[in-house]
């Protein structure tokens, strides 16, 4: 094992390396950010002043809507335009399955050999602060490294997952032909976060109906700017150039009319709240490691006390 | 408007009323708990010593798996056994759609006139502590009122939603024929939380394959007790009696071998952490209402500072 240089784990070295084009350094930075803790904070401190130029694209929708295939097709389109791009694919992790077991990542294979495409599957269950803290940290690193387009793909179901997708500069909601999907999208709270709607698998029956149903539903909503509804067939690439154009139009319009700055400020504020919460959680973890904590759990389990009463007692202890 | 008695909002009165069979009082308690805040804490304090007898059944799975129909069929089965039952259906809320806009709740209609069935759709987006705090609070109230079976139905995608389903005494994971579903279940982390698996829509092709695929996958896992895999057709009721039997078997086995007590302690501990976090969040909210907070957000947005640095500055302020 002699002669093999150990890779640096110093955030400053890694960031300098990644900015110089070292993909290994970039991958390590994203892993460190995903793990959270002191390293993640140190990286955020270094990366924040360097970030702010990238545009983020959120891609979300029901499981099976074809989000990964569409993401891959959009990445191909971005590459044709000569731009660098990164993909963060947020998959519910599973210790049993080892995360993304098949399918999604495989389809990204066509970009695997392209040095200007960085693809990362994020599996952050158990991370302190969860996805909602880890994803913006990873985005910041990719941004600071100079990648102009960052695609964040999440499943469009779940409180946290929808929130993460909504925080992009341009959020693309993917549905399929069939009214059922539009209903699911609506129930999951996807109607109000979409900047662009895509009816994917549009070669299937019912695509036109889905499109007009969506347009009708959107016309009843209260959007500052009514999202365009596009049809795509991600597997053949049909409509993907139009999607890329719609994304650029939306990003441009939001930049001009001030919505981008507004949304980013809201995003910064949301992240700050999460960081403050994560810091407080660290204190909770410290409290939870002590004997009074075990006694408090005992009291709740035996119904001698209740969680609200013992929580306040523990916090009074913490403040003393 | 004279002569109409205003309903009480006193937690003690409401709880006494609900325990005496007043459904309106019960509904109000659940609403108060859902809103969070001081009322929710007061209700938890009163309800906790009275709770602990009910068994909870989590029902989860991908969107479209037929969870609501299955829940409704299971409720019919529980009623046939002469037992009271409550359903908490957790739906991602949407200000645009007004929550569950159609479908799911409609199917529960058959139980609407049954006084021994309490059905509630929970829409808790924006709730402090979110679903993971609101659901156990609502369960505690239903338990304290003397309802022996509480079904918690959540969509099986999303960090929080899966966690909520996993905290039941018996968690039922619903999939459909077709390997794709099993893959989705696995990716969403549902394999390891299932106490009982159901292949619903088992009249469709591929049900037997789905069942044996699941059994094979489960045989490779590390379960203390390997979950049974059942086939149901919720729309006709086929297999639902067997599901009810499997749930009772599981609940009984877990009670005997100590897993129920173990899981409940873990649940109590998780809830205590969330209550402590919610209390700390209230402090964060107080901080976030002040001028230093706005200045901190400004500094982050302008990249004069980063969220980790200003978070620590704000917390130092809080401690002073």
Helix, strand, coil in percent for chain A, rounding step 5: 55, 15, 35
CATH superfamily of B51-257: P-loop containing nucleotide triphosphate hydrolases (3.40.50.300)
CA distance A18 to A202: 39
Q: What is the mean pLDDT of chain A?
A: 84
Q: Is the pLDDT of residue A146 over 90?
A: yes
Q: What is the model's pLDDT at position A195? A: 93
Interface contact A100-B187, CB threshold 8 A: yes
Contact call for A276 and B314, based on CB within 8 A: yes
DSSP string across B124-193: -TT-TTHHHHHHHHHHHHHHHTT-SEEEEEEES-SHHHHHHHHTSSEEEEEE-SSHHHHHHHHHTT-TTT
- The A residues from 14 to 33 touching B (CB cutoff 8 Å) are none
Model-level pTM? 0.71
- List of chain B residues whose C-beta atoms are within 8 Å of the C-beta of residue A97: 186-187, 189, 191
Residue of chain B whose Cα is closest to the Cα of A300:
B268
Distance between CA atoms of B216 and B70, rounded to whole angstroms? 24
Winning range, highest mean pLDDT, from A85-94, A259-268, B89-98: A259-268
Q: Residue ranges of the domains in chain A?
A: 53-257, 274-319
Coil vs helix vs strand at B66? coil
Cβ burial of A127 (10 Å; 0-12, 13-18, 19+) is: buried
Supply A245's token pair. 């154009």
User: Which of A12-16, A67-71, B293-297 has the largest mean confidence?
Assistant: A12-16
> Which value does ipTM take for this structure?
0.81
pLDDT of residue A95: 30
**Can you tell me the mean pLDDT for B285-291?**
79
Say what percent of chain B tops pLDDT 70.
82
CA A33 to chain centre: 13
The CA distance from B2 to the nearest CA of chain A, in Å, is: 38
Q: Which pLDDT band holds residue B179 (cuts at 50, 70, 90)?
A: low
Section A262-272 average pLDDT: 91
**Per-residue pLDDT tens over the stretch B218-262:** 887 666 678 999 999 999 999 999 999 999 999 999 999 999 999
The per-residue pLDDT for A98 is 32
* Range name among A130-134, B64-68, B196-200, B312-316 with the lowest pLDDT average: A130-134
pLDDT in the model for residue A144: 97
Is pLDDT above 80 for A58?
yes
Tell me the range of A245-249, B120-124, B272-276, B280-284 where mean pLDDT is highest. Answer: A245-249
pLDDT of residue B105: 45
Q: Does B63 touch chain A (CB under 8 A)?
A: yes
Say whether pLDDT at A112 is over 70: no
Judge whether A106 and B203 are in contact, CB under 8 Å.
no
- As a whole number of angstroms, the distance between CA A86 and CA A26 comes to 11
Using CB atoms, pick whichever of B125, B162, B269 lies closest to residue A189.
B125
Nearest CA in chain B to A98: B187
B51-98 pLDDT, tens digit each: 999 999 999 987 778 888 899 999 999 999 999 999 998 855 333 223
pLDDT at position A229 is: 94
Residues of A in contact with B133 (CB under 8 A): none
Distance between B78 CA and the closest CA of chain A, angstroms: 28
CA distance A59 to chain B (A): 16
Residue A38 has pLDDT above 80, yes or no: yes
Better-scored residue on pLDDT, A93 or A221 = A221
Q: Which of B38, B63, B278 to mutate to test the interface with A (most CBs of A within 10 A)?
A: B63
CA distances from A274 to A76, A207, B76, B308 (A): 34, 40, 43, 10
What percent of chain B is predicted at pLDDT more than 90? 48
Comparing A66-75, A218-227, B90-99, which segment has the lowest mean pLDDT?
B90-99
Q: How far apart are the first and last CA of chain B?
A: 52
Tokens of A79: 């590459």
pLDDT at residue A134 above 90? no
Interface contact B223, partner A, CB < 8 A: no
pLDDT at B120: 83
The least confident of B50-59, B117-126, B263-272 is: B117-126
Both ends of chain A: CA-CA distance in Å? 52
Burial class of residue A56 in the structure, from the number of CB atoms within 10 Å of its CB (0-12 exposed, 13-18 middle, 19+ buried): buried
B96·A62 Cβ contact <8 A: no
User: In this complex, do A265 and B159 lie within 8 Å of one another by their Cβ atoms?
Assistant: no
Which stretch of A264-278, A305-319, B85-99 has the lowest confidence by average pLDDT? B85-99
pLDDT for position B3: 60
Hey, are the CB atoms on A48 and B312 less than 8 Å from each other? no
The chain-wide mean pLDDT, for chain B, equals 84
Q: Quote the pLDDT of residue A99.
A: 35
Q: State whether B158 and A92 contact (CB < 8 Å).
A: yes
Please check the confidence at residue A238 and state whether its pLDDT lies above 70.
yes
Question: Which class is A53-257 in CATH?
Answer: alpha beta
């Amino acid at each position: 094992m002699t002669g093999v240089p150990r890779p640096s784990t110093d955030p400053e070295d890694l960031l300098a390396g990644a900015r110089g084009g070292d993909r290994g350094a970039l991958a390590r930075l994203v892993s460190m950010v995903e793990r959270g803790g002191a390293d993640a904070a140190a990286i955020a401190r270094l990366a924040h002043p360097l970030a702010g130029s990238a545009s983020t694209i959120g891609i979300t929708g029901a499981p099976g809507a074809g989000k990964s295939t569409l993401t891959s097709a959009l990445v191909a389109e971005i590459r044709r335009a000569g731009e660098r791009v990164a993909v963060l694919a947020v998959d519910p992790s599973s210790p049993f399955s080892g995360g993304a077991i098949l399918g999604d990542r495989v389809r990204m294979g066509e970009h695997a050999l392209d040095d200007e495409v960085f693809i990362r599957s994020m599996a952050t269950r158990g991370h302190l602060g969860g996805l909602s803290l880890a994803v913006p940290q990873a985005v910041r690193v990719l941004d600071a490294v100079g990648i102009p387009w960052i695609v964040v793909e999440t499943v469009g179901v779940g409180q946290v997952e929808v929130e993460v997708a909504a925080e992009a500069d341009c959020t693309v909601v993917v549905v399929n032909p069939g009214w059922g999907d539009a209903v699911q999208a609506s129930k999951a709270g996807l109607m109000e976060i979409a900047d662009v709607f895509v009816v994917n698998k549009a070669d299937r029956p019912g695509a036109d109906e889905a499109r007009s149903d969506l347009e009708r539903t959107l016309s009843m909503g209260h959007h500052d700017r009514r999202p365009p509804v596009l049809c795509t067939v991600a597997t053949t690439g049909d409509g993907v150039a139009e999607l890329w154009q719609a994304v650029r139009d939306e990003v441009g319009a939001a930049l001009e009319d001030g919505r981008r700055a507004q949304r980013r400020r809201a995003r910064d504020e949301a992240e700050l709240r999460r960081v403050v919460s994560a810091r407080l959680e660290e204190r909770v973890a410290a409290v939870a490691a002590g004997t009074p904590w075990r006694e408090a759990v005992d009291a709740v389990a035996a119904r001698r006390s209740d969680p609200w009463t013992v929580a306040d007692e523990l916090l009074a202890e913490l403040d003393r």
